[in-house]
Amino acid sequence: MRELRRRPLDPPPRVQVTSNSGRGLGLSSWQRWPRGKGAALGSALSVAAGQPAGGNLESPPRRGLLLSASPAPPAHCKDCQAIMKVLLLKDPKEDDCGQDPYVRELGLYGLEATLIPVLSFEFLSLPSLSEKLSHPEGYGGLIFTSPRAVEAVERCLQKDTKAEVWKKSLKEKWNAKSVYVVGNATASLVNRIGLHTEGETCGNAEKLAEYICSREPSALPLLFPCGTLKREILPKMLKDKGIPLESVTVYQTIPHPGIQGNLTSYYTQQDRLPNALLA
């Protein structure tokens, strides 16, 4: 008589939540999922801060969040291969092909991606920024370290009178000065409003500060539109080198108002709801 051995039950999958960005959720913990809800996932979910498209998805990225899941095949289709679904907690960004680069790249590997934004931005002090942009003669140049700062300038230029003056004279006057940026993505946005940029290949604020210190002879302050969560390394390095800087806080980062509802809706559609959303 053949001996029957009882196969041990699979342990419930676990959820790992990590962040190395120092912002946003900033969580680091393990949670066990209830059997029946989480067991359907079949493997652990990993959440890590997002990184620019085209980067190594296995390395800890810089911003945003990446949530990936490997679900088991449905009960009614045990012999078929399940499609791995990936939940990206980030804003959708269209590239030249009109598609988010993450969604496109993951799709090439047979992964079905869904985007849910987790952060939103509230703009501040736009009248003050608009007034400063009207007086380029008082500044040695501009510094942009984030796309949101460029968006703040764009919002200032949406006024009919301001847009006309910008095209006729202000844009040319600012282009006679240095316009420093971090990263090609920010540079492309600055180019869109008609300004020429430099320093975009520096990669981060520290390298840009070194670049500015090696080139900036002006005694006039540099105008620096920034957010409430800006790093202090660039202002400190410029101050140490005696380069004047005038910062103006033009936006703040806040939780996206629809994140709870969007996450609940997503997991309801998948028929699996994490503990964090059941509370």
Distance (Å) of CA 33 to CA 42, 72, 73, 157, 279 = 11, 15, 18, 50, 13
Helix (H, G, I), strand (E, B) or coil at 268: helix
Q: What residue numbers bound the domain in which 166 lies?
A: 122-254
Residue 109 region by backbone torsions, left for phi larger than 0, else alpha for psi between -120 and 50, else beta: alpha
Query: Is residue 130 domain-shared with residue 248, that is, in the same domain?
Result: yes
Number of structural domains (the chain) is 2
Query: Is residue 89 domain-shared with residue 179, that is, in the same domain?
Result: no
pTM exceeding 0.85: no
Query: Is residue 146 domain-shared with residue 226, that is, in the same domain?
Result: yes
Beginning with the edge strand found earlier in the chain, give each strand of the sheet holding 65-68 in spatial order.
29-32, 14-17, 45-48, 65-68, 85-89, 112-115
Query: Is residue 183 domain-shared with residue 264, that is, in the same domain?
Result: no
Residues 112-125 have pLDDT tens digits of: 999 999 989 999 99
CATH number assigned to the domain comprising residue 89:
3.40.50.10090
Backbone angles phi, psi at 200, to 5 degrees: -65, -20
The distance from CA 269 to its chain's CA centroid, rounded to whole angstroms, is 26
Residues 53-67 have pLDDT tens digits of: 333 333 333 444 444
Confidence band, pLDDT 50/70/90 cuts, at residue 143: very high
Residues 181-205 have pLDDT tens digits of: 999 989 999 999 999 999 999 989 9
Residues 18-45 have pLDDT tens digits of: 333 333 333 333 233 333 333 323 222 3
